[in-house]
Structure 1
Amino acid sequence: MLEACQNPRDKALIALQFEGGLRGGELYDLRVGDVFDSTHSVGVHVDGKEGERPVHLIVSVPYLQQWLQAHPAGDDDTAWLWSKLSSPGRPSYTTFLNYFKMAAERAGVSKTVTPTNFRKSNTRWLVLHGFSQARIEDRQGRKRGSEHTARYMARFGDESNEKAYARLHGVDVGEEETEDVGPVTCPRCHRETPRHEDFCVWCHHALSFEATEEVDQLEDDMFDSAGQAQGDELDDLAEARKLMDEHPVLKRVLLGE
């Protein structure tokens, strides 16, 4: 769904809800000033049914930072975090929900996609990553002994009744692998980029082996062309190569990224 988003706001919105698992109203009510830096993460202050709580983020941080840079009022702590793209005005809640719906449709997702669906998926994700019931309840702003959390712990926890009983009788129940989804640090600018990106979203440095190969091939093609160029053409190729070295984003443009 993230790749189906057409602007940094929608990417940040979906990434944050995937990782944060907030209630729809909590997510909608966030303001720019609710975002804060912490020792090991970035977080948001949430005011919900069970009171105020911090929700720490890592996976969604690059998306959130890019949206704050593009936000029409990113330096105004009182501005709504999920504003319109061209003004700090707040969209209606129906329009806000449509941001999820439209991204899902473009991504070919047939099921209904809402903040609540993401919240449920977040519970499962936290269970699979080994979070205790108490920590999940604290993070999601649920009361102690939440039936929802207990149900997900029983169904997806490492030692569900079925798994424990099968293991008792020597059955290899296997373990469901959890995908590493945290951001990666760019070796060039030292800022964080979503793991699935081939190029740094900040300085456009190639991050994957495939991206590096494509850039090297592009430069080799230019070098081969230089061997047949003459006069002004040779000067133009030399200038183009210099510009690409100074501005890596040009390489992405030429590669059709």
Structure 2
Amino acid sequence: MDTHNIVNFCIENSISENNQNIVLEYLKGLNRSGLKEATIRNNEHFLRFLLTHTKTDLDKFTRKDVNDIQDAINDWTKKNGKPASPTSKMQYKITLQRFLKGYGASTNNKELIELAKFGFAKVEGKKLESEDILSEEEVEKIIACCIGIRDKALVAIIYELGARVGEIQNCKIGDVKDHPYGFHITLNGKTGRRQVLLHKYQVYLKQWLVAHPNVNDPKAPLFTTAREYADSSYGKNKKKQGKDEPRAHSPLRTISMNLLLKKAARKAGIKKNVYCHLLRHSQATRLANTMTEQQLKKQMGWAGSSNMAQTYVHLSNPEIDNAVLASYGIRVVQDKEGNKVNRCARCSMPIPSGMRYCDCGMPVTQEAAQDKEMLIADVLTYLQQDPALLAKVSSKIK
């Protein structure tokens, strides 16, 4: 466990030696208990907040001190001046309870354990609606607008695998194995390791592996920074950076992934709030059409007892829509993957994805229909300028 960041923070903010020792021992205890690095990092972020909002020794906290911290959390604003989300505030209060209870138990401080008993309103996270989800067509537009093959492969793989960002950051070159239908990729996430198949967008990964700067190193991150960084220059105190340190390509950070994705989405004209985890939500919704609940849990890396699969089954319920359409005499035909097969309203022939017109000439998209109307209007305007030609055409129509 790296403690340099929290130590430097305490020094720069003149935190008392007692409080510094308390937070260090608490973080080391979390590390010894086997918690994941991301969880420990989140606790460290909270402890920084705690240390900057109290001058009291943490092992001598009173009810007033706990109330003051809760008030500070309620008034919490981020660096951009915007208030923290209700969910973030609730999480900090939960982390405060765990700190008081955990550190109190480890030091036999019954007063701290008692202080952990405070209530607060539970906040439900924002529920995604079906209109928030990205369609496959929208994802492909975003991929097309990504700059460079690394970014295209990143977006495509997060989407097709339904991967968590942390799983992609943990992914190494050695986790990628050839498969007759693409690649098997081993993801290591909060529920353990799982192997998933990359098929549809395998071409992007093939191209990225050709361009990857460390493709022959099995331990190299699958998605790396374009630049090389020294060990102390990436995510650490820049003042400690050494000019002669070994430099290497580092794993892409979450903020970098989200920024490149948002930039590509804007370029593609997508108006939705696009972020990396939305790709996972969108794929889970798509797969809910064709997979059983247990299959979906395995694909997405959810525990067997998790209720997450039900969320996406509810978001994607084509059976009800199809039943309503059937009541009007409309039969929705689906392919083997459960995707709707569009058919021409005139001749009933199937329409491949991306086609604007059927072979019979019927426009099959709204844009094509609008283009046809504009063309008809232009022709009529032209004919009105030539009465003789208009009369000839009219006689042919009759």
| CA spacing shift, 1:172–1:33, aligned 2, 3 Å | farther
1:1-12 correspondence to structure 2 within 5 Å: 1-12=142-153
**How many residue pairs are counted as aligned between the two chains?**
178
Secondary structure of 1:59's aligned partner: coil
2: distance between equivalents of 1:137 and 1:171? Answer: 35
Deviation at 1:67, TM superposition (A): 0.5
Coordinate RMSD, CA, aligned:
2.7
Unaligned runs of 5+ in 1: 181-194, 197-257
In the alignment, is the contact (CA less than 8 A) between 1:71 and 1:85 conserved in 2? Answer: no
| CA spacing shift, 1:139–1:157, aligned 2, 3 Å | same
The superposition leaves residues 4-54 of structure 1 with CA deviations (integer Å, 9 ceiling, x where unpaired) of: 111000000011111111112112221111111124331210111221100
2: distance between equivalents of 1:27 and 1:53? Answer: 12
In the alignment, is the contact (CA less than 8 A) between 1:22 and 1:115 conserved in 2? Answer: no
Deviation at 1:103, TM superposition (A): 1.4
| CA spacing shift, 1:108–1:71, aligned 2, 3 Å | same
Counterpart among 310, 317, 338 of residue 150 in structure 1: 310
| CA spacing shift, 1:33–1:94, aligned 2, 3 Å | same
The superposition leaves residues 193-241 of structure 1 with CA deviations (integer Å, 9 ceiling, x where unpaired) of: xx99xxxxxxxxxxxxxxxxxxxxxxxxxxxxxxxxxxxxxxxxxxxxx
Rg bigger for which structure? 2
Counterpart among 284, 292, 299 of residue 132 in structure 1: 292
Q: Which residue of 1 aligns with 2:154?
A: 13
1: distance between equivalents of 2:271 and 2:192? Answer: 35
- What fraction of aligned residue pairs are identical, expressed as a percent? 27
Structure number with higher helix proportion? 2
What amino acid maps onto 2:295 in structure 1?
A: R
1: distance between equivalents of 2:311 and 2:333? Answer: 18
| CA spacing shift, 1:154–1:122, aligned 2, 3 Å | same
TM-score w.r.t. the length of structure 1 is 0.61
Q: Which residue of 2 aligns with 1:44?
A: 185
1:181-200 correspondence to structure 2 within 5 Å: none
Secondary structure of 1:118's aligned partner: helix
2: distance between equivalents of 1:26 and 1:179? Answer: 31
1: distance between equivalents of 2:327 and 2:272? Answer: 38
TM-score w.r.t. the length of structure 2 is 0.41
**Are 1:175 and 2:332 an aligned pair?**
yes
| CA spacing shift, 1:43–1:172, aligned 2, 3 Å | farther
In the alignment, is the contact (CA less than 8 A) between 1:101 and 1:113 conserved in 2? Answer: yes
1:90-129 correspondence to structure 2 within 5 Å: 90-128=251-289
1: distance between equivalents of 2:179 and 2:154? Answer: 20
Secondary structure of 1:45's aligned partner: strand
Unaligned runs of 5+ in 2: 1-141, 229-248, 342-352, 355-398
What amino acid maps onto 2:159 in structure 1?
A: F
1: distance between equivalents of 2:340 and 2:154? Answer: 21
Q: Which residue of 1 aligns with 2:201?
A: 60
Secondary structure of 2:195's aligned partner: strand
| CA spacing shift, 1:179–1:57, aligned 2, 3 Å | farther
1: distance between equivalents of 2:318 and 2:296? Answer: 15
1: distance between equivalents of 2:224 and 2:333? Answer: 38
Q: Which residue of 1 aligns with 2:221?
A: 80
1: distance between equivalents of 2:281 and 2:172? Answer: 23
